[in-house]
Amino acid sequence: MADGQDWWRGSVTYQIYPRSFMDADGDGIGDIRGITDRLDHVASLGVDAIWISPVFPSPMADMGYDVSDYRDIDPVFGTLADFDEMVAKAHALGLRVIIDQVLSHASDQHPHFTESRASRDNDKADWFVWADPKPDGTPPNNWLAIFGGPAWQWDARRRQYYFHNFLPEQPDWNFHNPAVQDYLLDCVRFWLDRGVDGFRLDTVNFYVHDQMLRDNAANPSPWAQEAGRPFEMQYTLFSKNRPENLAFLERLRALLDEYEGRAMVGEVGDSHHAIELMGQYTAGDSRLHMAYSFEMLGPDFSPGHFRDRIEAFFKHAPDGWPCWAFSNHDVPRHVGRWLDHGADQDALARQAAALLLSFEGSVCLYQGEELGQVDTALAFEELTDPEGINFWPDRVGRDGCRTPMTWEAEAPNAGFSTADRTWLPVKPPQQARAVSTQQGDDSVLAFYRAMLALRRVEPDLRLGKTVFLNHDDPVLGFLRGEAMICIFNLSPEAVTVPLEADLDPLLDQAAEVSGRSLALGPNGFVIGRVT
């Protein structure tokens, strides 16, 4: 396990989606004992930490991102004793443990919301965001929910609307109430005292709303009108991204600083100013340690895009720190998104690993990407995700990237579960890429291990500053630190690249160095030292 307060700088974290990682009790749903059983695989990759998506008690309207109790484990995943055993084994294997904290909203089954909605004058009456209707009975403003429809739900008991950025079953906390902040900080302390090493903060820029409840303006961007999701048609100046967020983040950072070696990474999701927000949220040493970005979770696979995002972050936050990812539980897997740019699936998967793991900042990997997986194609009747159900067929939702991890190709459900039926199906294309099939030296899994090992032993790859080289498309080249050079051909066509200095390759694919000339085949790349 990496030592010191700054272990998170340049770290690599492996995201585990508990429902889909490993089912130890045979009910078709992954659980904490299953995670514990498979931690040796994660440790063998050479990552620094694991991030566990929510395992708290929840009605599962949004698969655990609707929390009804912040200080316990949902029985579907196990017990607090199971959680403690998992943390102990992770630490013994040299892995730090980061858990999701969903602080912006709760479940409508949370006891504090049950009390809050009972009347306008109880102890929890203003713990959530309530507002009177307009004289015509409509909601107090035009704010929209991400999953569709207004962001306001009428409650007959209080004869008021309550605010929800996501599902109606996910009411937003009122962060303008200091007692709410104190309660949530106490919930965070509960897990710090239990030994976790940090937190991934879900929707960290959604915490605070505008107290005046001013309308959001229309988003004039043409893409917003074509996005297929009304939420994108607004410029969300008042429903999220409020400057008061920073004061709460400073309280949260002060709490973590009471403990040695703890860190937090905030998920900054925004269609307009994500990079600028990441800079604000990580500036100095009193806010987030890292900001998790959606900037590389889209369809763009071009040298200009990657260069622009990295340069923009360090321009806006010269003392901040990003955490980059290509895939997670909310977006289509990157190999599938970028297949048009690949010579074949394996070549693209290896190149993407080399690319991401050579970027300046920290990195998150999502379970299954070390196998080169793409999304599972699902029928409507197989969906569980409210986004997919609500927006089908234009948007198929997130279930395709959440299907179970595949371990043994010949086993039922690819070794994920002994159940007759799993919560999402395991299908042949995913089963064919099980861990058991990737034991050869040329496998995607073997490459991830090799690339992670190189990042560990080369300080410049973890912490070196980046200087981009002026190559023409489709080539992306940059220096890291004093002597590391990384050059990528982001296309399925061969290219030749002139070199300004001699190059000693350390890890490559479809690459040949001849003097001051570098030949890169389809999805070719080289990572090496300038000599």
Q: Is 182 helix (H, G, I), strand (E, B) or coil?
A: helix
Q: Is 202 a catalytic site residue? A: yes
CA–CA separation, 452 and 369 (whole Å): 13
CA–CA separation, 407 and 417 (whole Å): 10
Strands 198-201 and 517-530: unpaired
Domain-wise residue ranges, the chain = 12-101+178-453, 465-530
CA–CA separation, 71 and 411 (whole Å): 36
Q: What is the pLDDT along the chain (531 residues), one digit of tens a residue?
A: 556 789 999 999 999 999 999 999 999 999 999 999 999 999 999 999 999 999 999 999 999 999 999 999 999 999 999 999 999 999 999 999 999 999 999 999 999 999 999 999 999 999 999 999 999 999 999 999 999 999 999 999 999 999 999 999 999 999 999 999 999 999 999 999 999 999 999 999 999 999 999 999 998 888 777 777 899 999 999 999 999 999 999 999 999 999 999 999 999 988 777 888 998 999 999 999 999 888 999 999 999 999 999 999 999 888 899 999 999 999 999 999 999 999 899 999 999 999 999 999 999 999 999 999 999 999 999 999 888 888 888 778 899 999 999 999 999 999 999 999 999 999 999 999 999 999 999 999 999 999 999 999 999 999 999 999 999 999 999 999 999 999 999 999 999 999 999 999 999 999 999 999 999 999 999 999 998
Q: Domain 12-101+178-453 falls in which CATH fold?
A: TIM Barrel (3.20.20)
Sign of CA dihedral 435, 440, 444, 447: positive
**Statement: 465-530 belongs to CATH 3.30.470.10:** no
Q: Is 98 helix (H, G, I), strand (E, B) or coil?
A: strand
| pLDDT at position 63 | 92
Selecting among 226, 258, 381, 441, the annotated active-site residue is 258
- Residue 116 gets the label, from left (phi > 0), alpha (psi -120 to 50) or beta, of alpha
CA–CA separation, 312 and 292 (whole Å): 15
| pLDDT at position 387 | 84
DSSP H or E run through 185? helix 178-193
DSSP H or E run through 154? strand 152-155
Selecting among 31, 202, 210, 385, the annotated active-site residue is 202
Residue 323: other Cβ atoms inside 10 A? 26
* DSSP result, 337-386: HTGGG-SSHHHHHHHHHHHHTTSSSEEEEETTGGGT--PPP--GGG---H
DSSP category for residue 144: B
Tell me the pTM. 0.96
Structure tokens at 28: 């078709």
DSSP category for residue 132: P
| pLDDT at position 227 | 72
Q: Is 394 a catalytic site residue? A: no
Residue 315: other Cβ atoms inside 10 A? 11
Report cis status (omega within 30 of 0) of the bond before 178: no
